[in-house]
Amino acid sequence: MTSIKAVAKKAGVSIATVSRVLNGTKFVSPDIRANVLKVVEELNYKPSLPARNLRRQQTQTIGVLVPHLNDFYFGNLAFALEKILSSRGYSPMFASTESDTSKETICVDNLIQHRVQGTILVPALPVHGSIENVQRLMDSNIAVVLVDRGIRSLKVNQIISNNFQGGYDGARHLIELGHKHIGMLDSGTDALLPKFGPGSERISGVRQAMADAGLEFDIRNCIFSDEQNQSKAGYQGTFTLLRQSPEITAIFALTDASAVGALRAAYELGLSVPRDLSVMGFDDIPLASHVVPRLTTLAQPPDQIAQAAVDLLLRQFDEPSAPFQTITVGTQLIPRESTAPPRTQ
């Protein structure tokens, strides 16, 4: 195996100069830098990452905390983060918090003990319960980027979707089709609380769209569930929703996973989608375009969100004093075959 000493000898420079070129720690003239890099390529020299990171007091490990790694949306987000982080030379360390603050605390303890260099975190619900854990990471000099669920009171880098606009656009789509009685499915019994998370923001958007259309928002047409399996929650919630409010002609499920459950329930109830019941989701997971009928949804792109999160995290490494940013990623309505005008129209 080629050593740094061999590189320095062939390039006619000191070992320290080779180190400066590879680590970018001090200025080296362009000619010398080009010569060193040429020799590195010729000798196929591979720096020892463990040794280099030890000198830098860095681990090159990034903690990634999401609610559920087996969730349709968060699984896709974790996959996108893994691809991007690996391509930049970092090793992601994944954990599921189960969207529970107590489990999140255990995960954060583990990340601190492993001296991760940074953390990309989807806060537990309700989001304000994660404030202490985020602060502990920052107090441990661990760079933090919040993803998907923002905490506006914290001075920290954040990547969030425009959930209010997504909820508004989704409801407006159904209203423009002629639906006046719209049911909603979401997770969490506290989802109507302002600080609960994306669900409450999406519901606020629905409320505004209905108000703008002169329609009344009826809380009785909303089903909230703490069932961890969102498809199961959507399945069970649809039976409850249609039993107590048979006038409903459209269901807006606030995740695609729960919308898939709603499609199954409609089938078992003998309802044709969208002739008897329109169903819409949120996320645009890959499955949304393969179910029958294909699911109308609001897309929030995990690849774009992951890239923005990694960019902000690496900027923190390079510029620790840079001002924090909150980046809002827009959602896009994707109309498909699961929504149509109500049959009575």
Alpha-carbon gap, residue 339 to 280, rounded angstroms: 7
Q: In CATH terms, are 59-161+301-331 and 163-300 the same topology?
A: yes
Residues 6+ apart with CB under 8 A from 41: none
- CATH class of the 4-47 domain in this structure: mainly alpha
Give the architecture-level CATH label for domain 59-161+301-331. Answer: 3-Layer(aba) Sandwich (3.40)
306-312: long-range contacts, CB 8 A cutoff, minimum separation 24 = 306/77, 306/80, 306/81, 306/83, 306/84, 306/147, 307/80, 307/84, 308/159, 309/81, 309/120, 309/145, 309/147, 309/159, 310/81, 310/84, 310/85, 310/88, 310/120, 312/145, 312/157, 312/159
Within 13 Å of residue 181, how many CA atoms lie on the same side as its CB?
16
Q: pLDDT in tens for each of the 345 residues of the chain?
A: 677 888 889 999 987 788 777 765 567 788 888 898 899 888 888 765 555 554 445 568 999 999 999 999 999 999 999 999 998 889 999 999 998 999 999 999 999 999 999 999 999 988 888 999 999 999 999 999 999 998 988 999 999 999 999 999 999 999 999 999 999 998 765 555 555 578 889 999 999 999 999 999 998 899 988 788 899 999 999 999 999 999 999 999 999 999 999 999 999 999 999 999 999 999 999 999 999 999 999 999 999 999 999 999 999 998 888 999 999 999 999 999 999 999 865
The encoded tokens of residue 287 equal 């499955």
Domain regions of the chain by residue span: 4-47, 59-161+301-331, 163-300
How distant, in Å, are the alpha carbons of 74, 79, 85, 122, 205 from that of 303?
Answer: 11, 9, 12, 15, 24
| CATH number listed for the domain at residues 163-300 | 3.40.50.2300
